[in-house]
Chain A
Amino acid sequence: MDATRTRLLAVLGRALRGLMPLGLLLATHQALALTEMSDPDLGAVGGSGISLALSNFSIGFSPTGYLEAVGTGTPPSFNGVQDARGDLIWYNPTISKASAADSIGSMTARDNGAMANWGTQQDPWVLRVESPNSILYDGSTHPWSVLNYYAPSTACTGSGASLNCASANAFQYAFWGDIEVKNPSTGALTSRLQSQSIWDGLTLDGSKISVFQNTYDGSLGMAWHNVITTDPNHAFRFSVANTQTAGCPGSVSGSCADPATAAPAFDSKEGIYFWGLSINMPVGALQYQPIVFTNDPANPTNLIIQLVTLPNAAAAYQDFYGCGAVGSPQACTVDGNNNVLPTGGVTGASYLAHHGSLTSSDLQVVNPTTAATNPGVMTDFGSINVNGILMQHFSMKTL
């Protein structure tokens, strides 16, 4: 028995030695597994940005699908009277195709179907990280990393009355909404306002959202340049008249239910029409005026969203007031009336980079349609032109 066992062990020993190369192969196979990259290795990796092109595109909730924001907590009281609670509901938000042109009575469909392109392969939406030379919060200039999300950049053709945005990624944005007022203690619905918003023919081309580590306090920073252009043949229509016969609240069915189970039938012509509404609104500046998120130490459960006050650093505020090429400030000049004069005037790139504007070629208000007057009486207020808006500081705190 012992001799057999010894011989068996000897054979096994030889067999196992024969298997050693296999063991080595297995070991090297282990070495082919994934290995951790160190920070310097990761830092050496470079990449392109990501481009997005959307074709035959639309996105929208169903007619009774919604987003709801509800004020919670105990509403504050002023002079012994407690505020009511408010609910905001956005029903059926939809981004779809822009119409060829609008007229009173034609802006009725919240979903116009799929648009051919929103961003093309030649001019896409772009998400990329960049490190441009930037003016920091202390006034010094250095490269600073920022994650940028760019809208397409195709500009509308023509200008003024002949402005045309059809080939510049124009689209329609529409929703119908419900503003509900509720008793703060019982939660009962006391009043509500149902409205419809349709903005047809707008384009976001030229807009940008930036995310970065801010140089104000080292936390998250954001900046946003909002460019909305609409040509004079298209409008933003806001309307409230609808054919609800039973009063809301009161009835609890259909469009009066909470949440509504059917969309109201809105008047096809009534409303406020902002024709050619265009907005250029920079919020924040890279890198000396970030949007930050913080809280109030005295009341720490509430959130503050704040556009940081413009710093008292010459390089920063000279760039902000448009006194040089973008990112390269020069000393500002002041005229005899102590007005700060931007270099290149009010159409220069450095001025437009920080100054906001809002224009509308025509503002019309149309009364509800009645049997006697169809369309309702129309009042024309003319054009709107607001220019040179600078936001030195902005703070919003929840209560």
Chain B
Amino acid sequence: MKRIGIFLFGLFAVVARADLLPMDNNELRTVEGRNGVALALDLGLNISNAGATSSTPAIPKCSPSGSSIPCRIGIQLNNRDNLALASAAFVNAYGGTGITGYSNGTGKGWWLVYKNFYGRITAPRITLDAGAANYNNKSGSATSVPALVMSTNDLSGNPTPIILNNINIQNMSVEVDSASSSVTPQAPANLGYENPSETGFLSLKVNDLTGLTIRGSVTMFACQSNHPSC
């Protein structure tokens, strides 16, 4: 019995040693990175041939309204509904005299809807590396801060094009909720972007199967208060 007890306890003890332990700041500081990171990204949105080569024109999977895949994006701004001219006061901590005409958001909201939205973007290589941003600060002395450096360059220094494949918004339209609502979000059956109509005022398309070429690099760093521009 005792042997069984010890055996069971031993099993538990082994499992316990596999826990992750937090590192304190001093230990983290001694860790050094080596090379940067290279990413390959391929995003297919609402397309049926995602497995094809990146320069094969993308085929949409979207079905017309009423079918299973309407492919829509709806954007609603704050205070955009049919009560936008209601007389609720604009109450705010700034202490001004306030404005009237601030909607309380319980009307029929309106949405800017992108209908039949599909496409594919392939970035074969995006590199992320650590670097430094060097500048003269407000007192004129040289300062160096850590920076993130991004580029699309391959190992020979040539840019790899980003392929924009048949990115399509078939129609843009403003759609209004079918009923007012006293709660946010609106009940699904009333939502403006579910309106089955496929009409709109503008269609947008971006297509570059050879690819968008971005040469060079982008250096991103914090805009600290000692920098003359910040």
Which residues of A are at the interface with B, using a C-beta cutoff of 8 A?
4, 7-8, 11-12, 14-15, 18-19, 22, 25-26, 29, 32, 47-62, 64-73, 113-114, 121-124, 126-128, 136-138, 140, 142-144, 150, 152-153, 213, 215-220, 259, 293-295, 297, 300-303, 398-399
Q: In the assembly, what is the distance between CA of A56 and CA of B158, in Å?
A: 12
- Extra inter-chain contacts (5) besides given A47-B222, A50-B221, A65-B208, CB under 8 Å: A11-B2, A26-B19, A121-B219, A128-B223, A302-B201
* A49 in contact with B230 (CB, 8 Å): yes
User: Which A residues are CB-close (under 8 A) to B12?
Assistant: 15, 19, 22
Q: Does B69 contact A (CB under 8 A)?
A: no
User: Which A residues are CB-close (under 8 A) to B199?
Assistant: 72-73, 301
Q: Which 5 A-B pairs have the closest CB atoms?
A: A65-B208, A49-B223, A56-B216, A62-B210, A57-B216
Find the B residue at minimum CB distance from A72. B203
Q: Which residue from A12, A142, A294 sits with its C-beta under 8 Å from B80?
A: A294
* A302 in contact with B174 (CB, 8 Å): yes
Min CB distance, B195 to chain A, in Å? Answer: 9
* B210 in contact with A64 (CB, 8 Å): yes
Q: Which residue from A65, A122, A143 sits with its C-beta under 8 Å from B164?
A: A65
Q: In the assembly, what is the distance between CA of A50 and CA of B12, in Å?
A: 49
* A50 in contact with B213 (CB, 8 Å): no
- Known contacts A52-B220, A121-B134; is A398 also within 8 Å of B2 by CB? no
User: Which B residues are CB-close (under 8 A) to A67?
Assistant: 204-206
Q: Does B64 contact A (CB under 8 A)?
A: no
* B171 in contact with A72 (CB, 8 Å): yes
User: Which B residues are CB-close (under 8 A) to A60?
Assistant: 212-213
Q: In the assembly, what is the distance between CA of A52 and CA of B227, in Å?
A: 13
Q: Does B180 contact A (CB under 8 A)?
A: no
Q: Which residue from A55, A215, A217, A301 sits with its C-beta under 8 Å from B173?
A: A301
Interface residues as binary, B162-202 with A (CB distance below 8 Å gives 1, 0 otherwise): 00100000111111100000000000000000000001111
Q: In the assembly, what is the distance between CA of A127 and CA of B110, in Å?
A: 30
Find the A residue at minimum CB distance from B12. A19
Q: Which residue from B205, B209, B217 sits with its C-beta under 8 Å from A54?
A: B217
Min CB distance, A237 to chain B, in Å? Answer: 23
- Known contacts A72-B200, A218-B90; is A15 also within 8 Å of B9 by CB? yes
* A217 in contact with B101 (CB, 8 Å): yes
Q: Does B51 contact A (CB under 8 A)?
A: no
